[in-house]
Amino acid sequence: GISRRKLFGLGAAGVAAAGAGTLAVRSLPGEDATTHAAATSDAVPFYGEHQAGIVTPAQDRLHFVAFDVTTKDRAELVDLLQSWTAAAARMTQGQEAGAFGAVGGVPEAPPDDTGEALGLPASGLTLTIGFGPTLFDERFGLAGRKPKALADLPKFPGDALLPELSGGDLCVQACAHDPQVAVHAIRNLARIGFGRVSVRYSQLGFGRTSSTSRAQATPRNLMGFKDGTANLKLEDTAMLGDHLWVAAEDGADDGADDGADWLTGGSYLVTRKIRMHIETWDRTSLAEQEAIIGRTKGEGAAHGSAKEFDEPDFTRKGPDGESLIADVAHVRLAHPSSHGGVRMLRRGYNFVDGSDGLGRLDAGLFFISYQRDAHRQFVPVQLALARQDVLNEYIKHVSSGLFAVPPGVRDAGDYWGRALF
């Protein structure tokens, strides 16, 4: 095949530099624009103990896809996962998915890469795969390998889930600093999967709504609030073991074993597409918006505190004797102290899918969280929010997904899900 470098007559540095010049780099206030520009064109290592795209500092763009597996042949599924892994290892390093151009002397065959990312740098692309509960039905002989923690999420009050936008046998989260690179990656995985998987739904996201590293400035969601302040972050190594990564089975009767050794070093992914009633929110007073969230809009400080990263004090009361952070404020309901200390790593994105035909933006938050056990972490928090959060007047959950995220691919001989199969 013709490599990207040969096509453009550039060395690796030239490719990176040429691509970096074409990128619309978006640094946030408080971030160094030059460092950010270099970082946005860089490649994130693909091989490792954990999959990239979880604690990797959240990139600017998302293309998330859920697939239904259409083949009933286990060997074909394994073959697909091997091909996907090889393509992902290449694309995340800024190379094309497969050979570009005629392959094997068959000039009429379509190219092994769709071509729209030629000349672009890696752009921080990460590809993270997840296995949905339905993959463990009778089709592939995996029922005995299904982790207990992959049981379906319960129904939450107010859920308005659309089945065609929920679930999926497999998912891939593509994150990158350039939307063209993220879309290219998903498009090529779908192309490689033709005849074995079909796209169930996919979601584009722009503008991360979380920081997953202390080196990142906190972005804002479409409600205008800083989002990701009190998040689990890359640097919290000790807490990541407790709250993020599935640990090896130890046989202890503490409920922590989830019946799946193949998932050691992996995690669980929850997705919720949350539509915002943006126009209603925009007509709500600033004081009410801030009371609902429990933090100020400008600084992002919890009520009663001065700075964004000051720990909220939920005991502080105002002159009227009422709590400064309302009992039903989002941050109080979601705070670890309300749920026996549980935390999650949030990694969501803003979305605007055009308008809804009724003069309103079809916009919101594509919520993504990673945790060691969604039933012990996401579920209690979401239950409290669904029951009491005043934010519910302004949002609607329209899609939901739960996926077991296998550990990282160790080297070129390994593939996504090898330990499962």
Residues that bind ligand HEM (CB under 6 A): 221, 223, 225-231, 272, 274, 276, 293, 295, 330-331, 334-336, 344, 365, 367, 378, 381-382, 385, 395
Distance in Å, CB of 191 to ligand HEM, minimum: 33
Between residues 138 and 285, which has the closer beta carbon with respect to ligand HEM? 285
- Under 8 Å CB-to-CB from 320, ≥6 apart: which residues? none
Distance in Å, CB of 114 to ligand HEM, minimum: 33
Between residues 124 and 228, which has the closer beta carbon with respect to ligand HEM? 228
Between residues 108 and 285, which has the closer beta carbon with respect to ligand HEM? 285
> What is the sign of the dihedral through the CA atoms of 76, 80, 86 and 87?
positive
Between residues 41 and 59, which has the closer beta carbon with respect to ligand HEM? 59
Between residues 176 and 333, which has the closer beta carbon with respect to ligand HEM? 333
Distance in Å, CB of 221 to ligand HEM, minimum: 5
Between residues 65 and 368, which has the closer beta carbon with respect to ligand HEM? 368
CA distance 290 to 307: 15
Of residues 138, 127, 126, the one with CA closest to residue 72: 138
Distance in Å, CB of 360 to ligand HEM, minimum: 16
> What is the sign of the dihedral through the CA atoms of 44, 49, 52 and 54?
negative
CA distance 259 to 251: 10
DSSP 308: T
Distance in Å, CB of 48 to ligand HEM, minimum: 26
Distance in Å, CB of 59 to ligand HEM, minimum: 18
How many Cβ atoms sit within 10 Å of the Cβ of residue 69? 22
Distance in Å, CB of 320 to ligand HEM, minimum: 24
Residue at token pair 């190594």 = 237
Task: Let me know: does 205 contact 271? Beta carbons within 8 Å.
Answer: no
Between residues 208 and 335, which has the closer beta carbon with respect to ligand HEM? 335
Q: 3-class secondary structure for 146-190?
A: CCHHHCCCCCCCCCCCCHHHCCCCEEEEEEECCHHHHHHHHHHHH
CA distance 325 to 322: 9
Residue at token pair 């519910």 = 392
167, amino acid identity: G
